[in-house]
Amino acid sequence: MKLPDPRLRLVSEPVGPVTAETRALAADMLDTMYDAPGIGLAAIQIGIAKRLVVIDLAKKDEERCPVVLVDPEITWSSEERRVHEEGCLSIPEYYEEVERPDRIRYRYRTLEGESVEQEADGILATCIQHEIDHLNGVMFIDHLSRLKRSRAIKKFEKAARREAEDA
Ligand code: NI
The pLDDT value recorded for residue 67 is 97
AA letter at 118: Q
Q: What is the pLDDT of residues 104-158, one digit of tens each?
A: 999 999 999 999 999 999 999 999 999 999 999 999 999 999 999 999 999 999 9
Distance CA 9, CA 66 (A): 26
The pLDDT value recorded for residue 166 is 87
Residue 99 near residue 124 (C-beta atoms within 8 A)? no
The pLDDT value recorded for residue 146 is 97
Residue 105 neighbours by CB distance under 10 Å: 15
Concerning whether 97 is annotated as a catalytic residue, the answer is no
Distance CA 167, CA 58 (A): 37
Query: Is the pLDDT reported for residue 54 higher than 90?
Result: yes
State in Å: Cα 26 to ligand 1 middle.
16
Segments making up each domain of the chain, as ranges: 6-166
Distance CA 146, CA 149 (A): 5
Q: Active site residue: 99, 112, 131, 157, which one?
A: 131
State in Å: Cα 4 to ligand 1 middle.
13
Superfamily of domain 6-166: Peptide deformylase (3.90.45.10)
